[in-house]
Structure 1
Amino acid sequence: MLETLPVKGRAPKTGYTREQFGQAWADVDHNGCDTRNDILHRDLTGITTRSGTRDCIVTSGTLQDPYTGTTIHFVRGEKTSSAVQIDHVVALSDAWQTGAQQIGAEQRRRLANDPLNLLAADGPANQQKSDGDAATWLPANKAFRCQYVARQVAVKHAYKLWVTQAEKSAISSILSGCKGQAVPTATSPTITWTPRSTTSTKGASATSTSRSTSSTHRTGSRTTGTTGSGDSGSSVSYKNCAAARAAGAAPIHRGDPGYSSGLDRDGDGVACE
């Protein structure tokens, strides 16, 4: 599949904005839950959910992090949510510079919300990656690199994107040591290593039952937090929606940490949609 991808130089980043890929974490599968929470449901185990949200909003769970090989105990909260972020395996900026400018707004929206292109991951590792491709960033967990670059190839193939020569060389070098590596699918990634250490997030010890988004379809509206027209009153704040998304907090519902009416442009109680 890698050999079928065109090899070209990067196009200019001119015109790139997150909005070119549609609403952040849209409910593209119409199951009543945004994409971020869908991926948390898929990739975390032992999850708990907020009552009144039709099992949508994940409040805690455990991630066997593919990028660092560590175990992260996730708890939703103003100081803890950013410990687990949802990474675009092919970064949206990279996609923009390798063909996404030409595929149309709807295809870009699908790319940004496609489970094939999304992984729950360690927040600091995701921040370090930024918009890097395989030539500039690879997971510290070497046991996951075969699956990681194979997923990038699958995404670029699916959305008719190209690779740079440096990117192709890096991917090819890794895949040369990945005997039998299959093309990944949108379902839960295969975790093939034993976590080397454990990191804890304060307040993570809660019992729960998990559920799969593939077998549960939520309908109707979901509770978006406490009622009222003011801000959340939380000590956490975001300068803008870009900062909220970088922290993995968007969309932010009224009553959630970090909600601000200044970020909620249409006043519907959901900021940074």
Structure 2
Amino acid sequence: MTSLRTKTLSLVALLAFGAVGCTPVADTGSAPAPSSTTRPADVEPSPPTETAPPSDPAAPPADLVAEGTALEQLAGIPIKGRAPKTGYDREQFGPAWADTDRNGCDTRNDILARDLVDIVYKDGTKECVVASGTFLDPYTGATIAFVRGNTTSTAVQIDHVVALSDAWQKGAQQLSAEERRQLANDPLNLMAADGPANGAKSDGDAATWLPANKAFRCEYVARQTAVKAEYRLWMTQAEHDAIAAVLSGCPEEPVPLREGSASAAAAAGAGAPAAEPAAVPAAPGGPVAYANCTAVKAAGVAPIRPGDAGWDPKFDRDGDGVGCTS
């Protein structure tokens, strides 16, 4: 009995304590009392984080400027004023269209062979002189039927991406005669172009002229930047800003690779086919065919002989049993 009475009194006491200690407090909207970890009253709370102001639309996101981009290369180009044109002459850059790569063909025909398709060579020139072909102009997007001739050759011209006059006024005066000759004949600085478009460009830089074909502008200014970096030339502030504005829309545009590299054909022009590449078999074990000696050389199989994969009698113009020797 004593045990039962004791338990009953304990239960009554417990219920009474709960009725007092657990009574809910009405929500008055006031903040709860600070805990022991609450910041002291004399310490100012941190201000709320403000939203960063919008960035300059001409400035590319920093995380997109990767190593090897045209933007990164642009950052290393010196900015100076344009020097006087005094002393400039085309002859300062050596004879026009010299055979600097010693392949037996002049530079103009090398570039036509690189940038045109459906090429027909002039007989007796060992596939050096381009007689006709089809050209997709990257500057305008137009397709041009090229025919060699006194009144027709000018339809497709060879543009110095960095004009020689512009180069002269931005550092080329300090180059050696041989360096200037290389600059004038460097495939990196040369592109087949629509004649009227090339005439409109004249010796302008990116601040005064850009291709009408906007899809090609990123590649165009990237190539100008690469040429100026290669030959230690500078830019004016206006030119630099114009190129930066273009590249802001394509911050991952790569630095154009030099001729002969695996991706050099991509630097020849947006949508402008380069020299015919080596054809690949349509299926494993299928026949190999080359469009011309340019493709044979690009595949690294020149000279080519009867019995070699891809041999065609058209490669042996002089009948000596060996094709694509020059």
Is TM more than 0.5 here? Answer: yes
Instruction: Give the Cα separation in 1 of the matches to 2:97 and 2:218.
Output: 27
The one of 160, 166, 171 aligned to 1:94:
166
SS of match in other structure, 2:131: strand
- The amino acid of 2:294's aligned partner reads S
Shift of 1:55: 0.5
Shift of 1:78: 1.6
Partner of 1:230: none
Conserved 8 A contact 1:46-1:210:
no
- The amino acid of 1:78's aligned partner reads N
Instruction: Give the Cα separation in 1 of the matches to 2:96 and 2:268.
Output: 26
Instruction: Give the Cα separation in 2 of the matches to 1:33 and 1:190.
Output: 19
Conserved 8 A contact 2:133-2:145:
yes
SS of match in other structure, 1:60: strand
Conserved 8 A contact 2:100-2:107:
yes
Give the length in aligned residue pairs.
206
Do residues 11 (structure 1) and 11 (structure 2) align? no
Do residues 132 (structure 1) and 214 (structure 2) align? no
Instruction: Give the Cα separation in 1 of the matches to 2:293 and 2:116.
Output: 10
- The amino acid of 2:126's aligned partner reads R
Instruction: Give the Cα separation in 2 of the matches to 1:18 and 1:193.
Output: 31
Conserved 8 A contact 1:41-1:211:
no
Partner of 1:84: 156
Q: Following superposition of structure 1 onto structure 2, how do residues 133-148 of structure 1 map, counting pairs within 5 Å?
A: 133-148=205-220
Shift of 1:167: 0.2
Shift of 1:157: 0.1
Partner of 1:168: 240
Conserved 8 A contact 1:48-1:209:
no
Q: Following superposition of structure 1 onto structure 2, how do residues 23-42 of structure 1 map, counting pairs within 5 Å?
A: 23-42=95-114
Distance 1:123-1:166 versus aligned 2 partners, 3 A rule: same
TM-score, with structure 1 as normaliser: 0.72
Partner of 2:48: none
The one of 116, 119, 132 aligned to 1:60:
132
Identity percentage of aligned residues: 66
**Cα RMSD over matched residues?**
2.0
Structure 2's unaligned 5+ residue stretches are 1-72, 274-289, 304-326
Conserved 8 A contact 2:170-2:234:
yes
Partner of 2:314: none
Residues 68-119 of structure 1: CA distance to partner in whole angstroms, max 9, x if unpaired? 0111110001221000000000000000000000011000000000000000
Instruction: Give the Cα separation in 2 of the matches to 1:98 and 1:210.
Output: 40
Shift of 1:179: 3.5
Query: Which is helix-richer, 1 or 2?
Result: 2
Partner of 1:110: 182
Conserved 8 A contact 1:49-1:55:
yes
Shift of 1:39: 0.2
Shift of 1:191: 4.4
Q: Find the structure with the greater CA-based Rg.
A: 2
Partner of 1:238: none
Greater relative CO (CA pairs within 8 A, separation 6+)? 1
Residues 125-156 of structure 1: CA distance to partner in whole angstroms, max 9, x if unpaired? 00010000000000000000000000000000
Do residues 177 (structure 1) and 259 (structure 2) align? no
Instruction: Give the Cα separation in 1 of the matches to 2:123 and 2:147.
Output: 15
Instruction: Give the Cα separation in 2 of the matches to 1:70 and 1:178.
Output: 23
